[in-house]
Amino acid sequence: MTSFQEDRYAFLTEWHDPTASLLRRYQLFFYPKDNSVEMFDLKYQRMFLRRTKYEDLHLEDLFLGNRVTVFSRQLKLIDYGDQFTANKLGSKIEKTFALVKPDVLNKIGDIFELIYSAKLIVTKAKMTTVTWSQAADFYVEHQSKPFFNNLIQFVTSGPVVAMELTGDEAMSIWRTLLGPADSAAARQEAPQSLRAKFGTDAIRNVCHGSESLAAAARELEFFFPSTVGHGPGNTAVCEDSTCCIIKPHAIAEGLTGKILNSIREARFKIAALQLFNIDYANAEEFYEIYKGVVTEYPGMVTELCSGPCIVLEIQGADIPKSFRELCGPSDPEIARLLRPNTLRGLYGKDKVRNAVHCTDLPEDSVLEVQYFFRILDG
């Protein structure tokens, strides 16, 4: 019997059933005391999964909009299932908007590291460019300021990375992490801040951060509109490039920043970057050529849709071969023996959770880049 004192969290969740190709709805219960889960089928009004211990789910993963994997099913958390859960978990979780400005894209790995160290999670990310009129729209509150033209000139001077950050008090935590707007002042007043570390002056100050939750909502809608196909597009060129996917397990382990830094140190150019939540059908389609060829195929598909992944378009001398060499042997155990400094050697766990995917066949390189940046982000 469940004691009434025991904490129980409830969520309304959706699961895309690939075999029937429809959405199924479950009530998900999580019991932190023994880390167990329980699922109730809402359509058929019956128990779907009896309370079972499940070590891979953690309280930190339980926030609205997130996707969690429970026994190989990727569930999207749609709403709180009861008032207790809403009160307990709903109060402080916020979303805020961050924009990495054009002059510090080579610091993107360090920026990811600092975001994670502040216990924030990147829930959306897209490398993009903004036109003059989009930038003027975005910064409309500053249009009468003397620095307005310089600011617009600056943010339109090259690609930026737009991000949605989620976490407890995300808005103010991100502002604190940024530090004062003027980088020189930041070095005086907040030496650990991002602007103190990587900023140049009052205009080239590393990143933007929303100043209120209302501003965050407006700015997120601007870069990540709820209507598909609108908003600033991705920067993929789909030419002389290859595809890299930072896999969900690596993102969950907080390795994104380290992987991006390793790629930069190896002198590859990241021409496009975007966070995707791949569903089961798309993961199967993407890995189609491995079906029946490698025994890990089912595991690879499940891993790819188990949480957000970050897809990169990579350019550089002698790609795709040179980039495959940076990734190393697909089995991390072998990589650690033979090529310990490769991405798989450094960050991989096992054959399926091997930190990154890279294109196998040269003729598939651009096709894989197109799959994400032209088809899925259509």
Q: Which residues are catalytic?
A: 208
Q: 126 contacts which partner out of Mg ion, ligand CDP, none, CB within 5 to 8 A by kind? A: none
Q: 72 contacts which partner out of ligand CDP, Mg ion, none, CB within 5 to 8 A by kind? A: none
Which element (helix H / strand E) includes 367?
helix 365-370
Q: Which stretch binds ligand CDP (CB under 6 A): 31-39, 143-151, 277-285, 357-365?
A: 143-151
List residues binding Mg ion (CB under 5 A): 211
The contact mask relative to ligand CDP for 210-239 (x = CB under 6 A, - = no) is -x----------------------------
**Which two tokens mark 189?**
């007043």
The contacts of residue 207 (CB under 8 Å, 6+ apart) are: 98, 99, 100, 101, 104, 111, 178, 194, 195
Q: 147 contacts which partner out of ligand CDP, Mg ion, none, CB within 5 to 8 A by kind? A: ligand CDP
Q: Determine, following the binding rule CB under 6 A, whether residue 208 of this chain makes contact with ligand CDP.
A: yes
Secondary structure (DSSP) of 327-353: H--SSHHHHHHH-TTSHHHHH--SSSS
Binding-site member from 118, 181, 213, 334 for ligand CDP (CB under 6 A): 181
* CA-based nearest residue to 275, from 100, 167, 111, 127: 127
**Least Å distance between CB 92 and Mg ion?**
22
Q: Determine, following the binding rule CB under 6 A, whether residue 187 of this chain makes contact with ligand CDP.
A: no
79 CB neighbour count, 10 Å cutoff = 13
Q: What is the C-alpha separation between 347 and 80, in angstroms, rounded? A: 35
Q: Determine, following the binding rule CB under 6 A, whether residue 190 of this chain makes contact with ligand CDP.
A: no
Q: Which residues pair with 14 in a beta bridge?
A: 25, 76
Q: What is the total count of residues that contact ligand CDP (CB under 6 A)?
A: 10
Q: Determine, following the binding rule CB under 6 A, whether residue 205 of this chain makes contact with ligand CDP.
A: yes
Q: What are phi and psi of 135, to 5 degrees?
A: -65, -40
**Least Å distance between CB 154 and Mg ion?**
14
**CA separation (Å) from 87 to 119, 165, 270, 312?**
21, 21, 42, 38
**Least Å distance between CB 207 and ligand CDP?**
8
Q: Which residues bind to ligand CDP, rule: CB under 6 A?
A: 142, 147, 150-151, 181, 202-203, 205, 208, 211
